[in-house]
Amino acid sequence: MESETKNNTCPFRLRASRDALEIIQGKWRIPIVISLTYGTKRFGEIQRDIGDVSPKMLSQELKALEENKIISRTLYDSMPVTVEYSLTPLGQSMNKLLDELLNWGNHFRKEIVG
Amino acid sequence: MESETKNNTCPFRLRASRDALEIIQGKWRIPIVISLTYGTKRFGEIQRDIGDVSPKMLSQELKALEENKIISRTLYDSMPVTVEYSLTPLGQSMNKLLDELLNWGNHFRKEIVG
DNA sequence: TATAGCAGTTACCTATGAGTAAGTAGTTAC
DNA sequence: GTAACTACTTACTCATAGGTAACTGCTATA
């Protein structure tokens, strides 16, 4: 058991949500992580998965996710240079969060869009 | 059973995540919802809970959440006008999503901040 | 030789998110 | 009568997010 300083207090929950939101924030980070839950992918594959992300934004957000240890970038020095992106264990730990996000997204769509 | 058109396909998950992100996006919406999970509250109470939100942003984001049917606003015509905000059933349905967000936020903090 | 693909980068522009400060209208407490 | 609280609104500003378009250097293919 952890020390029972209630982890349900409002200030505690607010701080935790801010930590998470800082990483998640933006239009493209979650979509990128979702794309990578299907396995290691290359720049162009992620771009095609998402469909409407520009190379500029994709590059920028991949860097941010790498800095936050959510994804890892591997460069293969093959002759047409190959780069592969994949989720780190920390990135994989977003599994349940993503599931709930998707669950709720569907629920919301059914309720509102009808 | 639902029709088994795989709800796990990448395009399906991307669409669902976008629906959810559109509502969640921004610095203040999740904190507001978290504050209201502790029950019906008034403008000033939410502001004090969150601590560093300006009345302008709070007012703006409360309106957005109301438009999306996440919260409801009730005006009491008592003599100093009283306004109360509370979660709708749709807002309450964010429960699990919030839990996972907070779980992951804590996990992230432990992993990175150390 | 030319076209297309890979993995981006760079420059430029605009829209929006968010902060600051002050004001409003009514009421209550000192 | 004046200060303070309630629930905001308005005006102004700045920084960032995000979009568009063009360009880079390399290689493979027709």
From first to last of its 114 residues, chain B has per-residue pLDDT tens of 554 567 889 999 999 999 999 999 999 999 999 999 999 999 999 999 999 999 999 999 999 999 999 999 999 887 788 999 999 999 999 999 999 999 999 999 999 877
Q: Quickly name the fold that domain A26-113 has.
A: Arc Repressor Mutant, subunit A (1.10.10)
Asked if residue A40 lies in contact with residue A88, where contact means CB atoms within 8 angstroms, the answer is: no
pLDDT at A3 over 70: no
pLDDT at A53 over 60: yes
Distances, alpha carbon B31 to alpha carbons A66, B18, B27, B34, B77, in Å: 26, 20, 8, 5, 28
Contact A14 B23 (CB under 8 A): no
CA to C1' distance (Å), from A40 to D13: 44
Class of domain B27-113: mainly alpha
A112 contacts in B (CB within 8 Å)? 68-69, 90
Q: Nearest nt to B85, CA vs C1'?
A: D7
Which tens digits make up the pLDDT trace of A58-107?
999 999 999 999 999 999 988 788 999 999 999 999 999 999 999 999 99
For residues A3-13, average pLDDT: 82
DSSP 8-state code for residue B88: -
Q: What pLDDT is stored for residue B7 in this prediction?
A: 83
Enumerate residues near strand D (beta carbon within 7 A). A 25-28, 52-57, 79-81; B 42-45, 55-56, 59, 62-63, 73, 75, 80-83
Give distance CA A80 / C1' D29 (Å). 14
H/E stretch holding B95 reads: helix B95-108
Chain B residues with beta carbon closer than 8 angstroms to that of A61: none
Parse chain A into domains and list their residue ranges: 26-113
Q: Are B33 and B61 in contact (CB under 8 A)?
A: no
The pLDDT value recorded for residue A4 is: 60
- Check whether A1 has a pLDDT greater than 70: no
pLDDT at B2: 52
Q: Quick one: pLDDT at residue A6?
A: 73
| Nucleotides in chain D with any atom closer than 7 Å to protein CB | 5-11, 17-22, 25-28
Q: Of B87, B13, B6, B85, which is closest to residue A104 (Cα–Cα)?
A: B13
Distance A85 CA to D21 C1' (A): 26
Nucleotide nearest to B83 (CA to C1'): D7
Q: State the average pLDDT for chain A.
A: 93
Q: Which residues of B touch A25 (CB under 8 A)?
A: 25, 27
Q: What is the pLDDT of residues A23-44, one digit of tens each?
A: 999 999 999 999 999 999 999 9
CA distance B104 to B106: 5
Using the Cα atoms of residue A5, residue A21, residue A93 and residue B94 in order, give the sign of their dihedral.
positive
Please tell me the predicted confidence (pLDDT) of residue A2.
52
Nearest to A24 by CA among B30, B96, B25: B25
